[in-house]
Amino acid sequence: MKDAALKPAFSLAPGERAGVLLPLPLPPYDYKLPSGVAATRGLVVSAPLGPRESLGVVWGKAEGAVGDNRLKEATPLDGNPMLPAGLCDFVDWVAQYTLTPPGLVLAMALRSRQAFEPEIPRIAYAKGESTPKRLTPARTRVLEIAADGLARSVPQLAEEANATPAVVRGLIDAGALVEVALPEFPPFAVPDPGFAPPKLDTEQDLAAHLLRSGVAAHRFAVSLLDGVTGSGKTETYFEAVAEALRQGRQALILLPEIALTVQFLERFAERFGTRPAEWHSDLSQKERRRVWRAVLSGEARVVVGARSALFLPFAALGLIIVDEEHEQAYKQEDGAVYHARDMAVVRGRIEHCPVVLASATPSLETYVNATSGRYAHLKLHSRHGAAVMPEVRLIDMREARGDPGMFLSPPLREALAVTLGAGEQAMLFLNRRGYAPLTLCAACGHKMTCPHCSAWLVEHRYRKRLVCHHCGFETVTPPACPQCGETGTLAACGPGVERVAEEFKTIFPDARVAIASSDTMHGPLETQAAIRAMAKRETDVLIGTQIVAKGHHFPQLTLVGVVDADLGGSDGDLRARERTFQMLHQVSGRAGRAEKPGLVLMQTRNPQDAVMRALASADRDAFYEQERKSREEMRAPPFGRLAAIILSGHDGDAVRAAGRDLARAAPAARGVKVWGPTPAFYSLLRGQTRERLLVQAEKLVDVQAYLRSWLASVKLAKSVRVTVDVDPVSFF
């Protein structure tokens, strides 16, 4: 591999030139370094770039093309901060694997210049030695507050003592209060591995033992922690985290969704006595800077985060956990297109630390790696304690139809009545946001579609809007059909979660209902609130999209109703069946996680379908084996390789022409087939026309090398954007 040459730490003689990588889509640039500076890979510098100064990182030896007199000088930042070598190697690896310019990958790993500057201490005041000569009642009150010895800011003291800031300043001038510099950020508490360890059952204990010894060995190895929902996977991998803490190392826990973190942080604190550091897109810039620095200094010992946490500058990483490893949310689809689960394995190899993939429904790739022995396969067969796996029953919607226009069948309604009557909780699952996925004119059949995307507009009745879920376009439902002009003919077709909630409320007006859905109406905060309320039993029924399917633990939830189990099954893409199975299995797994047994009712029109049968018979591995066979026959991943090229742009003709040119230029190579161009599933997205090509290769083909030489051989119109997606998971 290309980056291998850089791997041994190199250092340059003082005054030598260096290749500096900037967080921009450029290759490393040559700079000279001030004399006396020994530059090593990872040294963070300020580098002049045109009229500006950019942050940069010394990356390797210079290429040597620029004359000495034209060479600009890059200066190390104060204190000579460095990115850890492991992170630099990781950036190179991700760049080369995903065909992303290394500078763009570096941009994900680097923070702003501020992150390297010394902390700005907060100035506060505490009680000093001397007492002022003149004591007013206000002054006395301030001194009484300060008597506890704690440092406070001027406004804080003034407010607590009910005095004016001038009174406080008078006391400072008189020397009765003295200045204290407090750190900008409070330090991260160290999680205590011995705080509240659970008593593990036999299987958990065996798995935990293997994970702990892996961590203690400081060796790269991947394990699949394969346990049924509610088997205690989290408790088990927490023991590996505890071991990393005992070893003085850091641990990274990746979660697929921010919405999952709240419950998780609390659970972590129960086990380790304090919350871990968090990393995700909802953090403020200041918080990010705090976490980033603390990860680099080693002060933050455990980080829980979304996929981007993989690019943090760990000083001494000792363990990576990827929870719910099968989740599609781990795939980043814009910017650098990468899969965080796969890249976590890469980071673990670079850092020589174990990687634990946890799931009740592993991805087929991971399943194959585990059953073939490449990964250790740690199994937890049963739920913890008295809990048993829920019973799954199919409701054949061809027979069990209720009233027309209703979405909850009579058997599901009955089960809801029984559950609510017993004072237990229920969940209704439908993977569709909004009120109705389609608005149709009853007179002419016109469908309301987005002007910028080849997609239907989804009605959101709360907001009284038709919304495009792809570009955010919004409009009000027009009074007349835009096609035929008839009034009052536009009708909502099919259900979304809002509509199911509406129907539910008409049947059970007294039940407490909450909706959890990942759209703007029910944003992350509302979703988190709904999930908390459910956990605290303040809600009887939670109605939600895929966001409720994942990871949550609601002890009193005994009934799960799947409103439309057939959704997603007809996508026809490679992973449609696997995804449907995973989603429905996960959502089923929410039922009956404590003493009371759970029941899952799935409404389907295809009860004979293999996915439905596997779910009803609780035979997961039969499903996986069947899926493995069919992938093997098709030479599909993981038995072959795929890469997609997506062309997009506002000029549709240029995009289509580029597709044809690219296809014509595809080099002939043994074991490689190129399909397309074809219009993408969303052939218009955010106003951009999209065409796709698909490369299908045999397992041992170097797909990256093939793509590189192919893309380098054609010159496409500037207006056409080329996105390469190695190992695609979605085919839209």
Closest approach of Zn ion to the CB of residue 681, in Å: 14
| φ/ψ of residue 312, rounded to 5 | -80, 155
Q: How far is the CB of 271 from ligand ADP (least distance, A)?
A: 9
Contact 623, 432 (CB under 8 A): no
Which of 116, 113, 42 shows the shortest CA–CA distance to 82? Answer: 42
Q: How far is the CB of 599 from ligand ADP (least distance, A)?
A: 18
Instruction: Label the pairing between strands 376-380 and 490-493.
Output: unpaired
Q: Does 363 bind ligand ADP (CB under 6 A)?
A: no
- Three-state DSSP class for residue 364: helix
204 or 546: CB nearest ligand ADP: 204
What is the pairing mode between strands 122-127 and 177-182? antiparallel
Residue 163 or 200 having the CB closest to ligand ADP: 200
74 binds, among ligand ADP, Zn ion, none (CB under 5 to 8 A by kind): none
Binding mask 436-465 for Zn ion (x = CB under 5 A): --------------x-xx------------
Binding residues for Zn ion, total number by CB under 5 A: 7
| Nearer Cβ to ligand ADP (232/496) | 232
Nearest to 195 by CA among 41, 339, 55, 302: 302
Of 193, 232, 544, 640, the one binding ligand ADP (CB under 6 A) is 232
Q: Take residue 167 and report the two structure tokens written for it.
A: 């009174």
Residue 536 burial (10 A CB sphere; 0-12, 13-18, 19+):
exposed
Site residues (CB under 6 A) for ligand ADP, limited to 79-108: none
Give the DSSP H/E element, type plus range, for residue 672: strand 672-685
- Residues in Cβ contact with 213 at an 8 Å cutoff, skipping those fewer than 6 apart: none
Residue among 235 and 578 whose Cβ is closer to ligand ADP: 235
> What span, in angstroms and rounded, lies between the C-alpha atoms of 672 and 699?
10
Q: Which helix (H) or strand (E) holds 411?
A: helix 410-421
Q: Which is nearer to Zn ion, 452 or 512 (CB)?
A: 452
Q: Which of these ranges, 197-205, 501-509, 528-536, 576-584, lies near ligand ADP under the rule CB under 6 A?
A: 197-205
198 contact choice in ligand ADP, Zn ion, none (CB below 5 to 8 Å, kind-dependent): ligand ADP
Question: Which of the listed partners (Zn ion, ligand ADP, none) does 470 bind, with a CB threshold of 5 to 8 Å by partner kind?
Answer: Zn ion
Q: Which of 559, 552, 521, 549 is closest to 536 using CA atoms?
A: 552
Structure tokens at 239: 């023991």
Binding segment (CB under 6 A) for ligand ADP, from list 65-73, 233-241, 457-465, 611-619:
233-241
- Residue 473 interaction partner, one of ligand ADP, Zn ion, none, beta carbon < 5-8 Å per kind: Zn ion
* Residue (408 or 560) nearer to ligand ADP, CB: 560
Identify the residue among 60, 84, 86, 227 touching ligand ADP (CB under 6 A). 227
How many angstroms separate the most distant Cα atoms in the chain? 93
Q: Is 198 in the site for ligand ADP (CB under 6 A)?
A: yes
Considering only residues 550 to 569 of the shown chain, the ones binding ligand ADP according to CB under 6 A are 553
CB of 263 to ligand ADP, least distance (A): 10
Q: Is 200 in the site for ligand ADP (CB under 6 A)?
A: yes
Residue (306 or 594) nearer to ligand ADP, CB? 594
- Is residue 14 reached through a cis peptide bond, with omega within 30 degrees of 0 on the bond before it? no
Binding ligand ADP (rule: CB under 6 A), the pick from 223, 231, 425, 527 is 231
- Of 233 and 293, nearer to ligand ADP (C-beta) is 233
Q: What is the nearest approach in angstroms of ligand ADP to the Cβ of residue 200?
A: 5
The helix or strand, by DSSP H or E, that contains position 693, with its residue range, turns out to be strand 688-698
The nearest distance, CB 207 to ligand ADP, in angstroms, is 11
Token pair listed for 618: 């609780």
Partner in contact with 73, chosen from ligand ADP, Zn ion, none, beta carbon below 5 to 8 Å by kind: none
With residue 93 as reference, give the H or E element that holds it.
Answer: helix 85-98
Question: H-helix or E-strand containing 173?
Answer: helix 165-173
Q: Which one of the spans 61-69, 392-400, 467-475, 516-524 is the region binding Zn ion (CB under 5 A)? A: 467-475
Of 311, 346, 220, the C-alpha closest to 727 is 346
Residue 114 burial (CB count, 10 A): 11
Spatial separation of the C-alpha atoms in residues 527 and 514, rounded to whole Å:
9
Site string for ligand ADP, 534-553 (x = CB under 6 A): -------------------x
Question: From the CB of residue 91, how many other CB atoms can be counted at a distance below 10 Å?
Answer: 26
Rounded alpha-carbon distances, angstroms, from residue 402 to 410, 411, 431: 6, 9, 21
Nearest alpha-carbon partner for 380 in 276, 484, 497, 234: 234
* Backbone torsions φ then ψ of 653, nearest 5 degrees: -65, -40
CA 237 from chain center: how many Å?
Answer: 19
Residue 227 interaction partner, one of Zn ion, ligand ADP, none, beta carbon < 5-8 Å per kind? ligand ADP
Least distance in Å: CB of 234 to ligand ADP? Answer: 3
Q: Which does 453 bind (CB under 5 to 8 A by kind): Zn ion, ligand ADP, none?
A: Zn ion
Q: Is 234 among the residues that bind ligand ADP (CB under 6 A)?
A: yes
Binding region for ligand ADP (CB under 6 A)? 198-201, 204, 227, 229-235, 384, 553
Binding site for Zn ion (CB under 5 A): 450, 452-453, 468, 470-471, 473
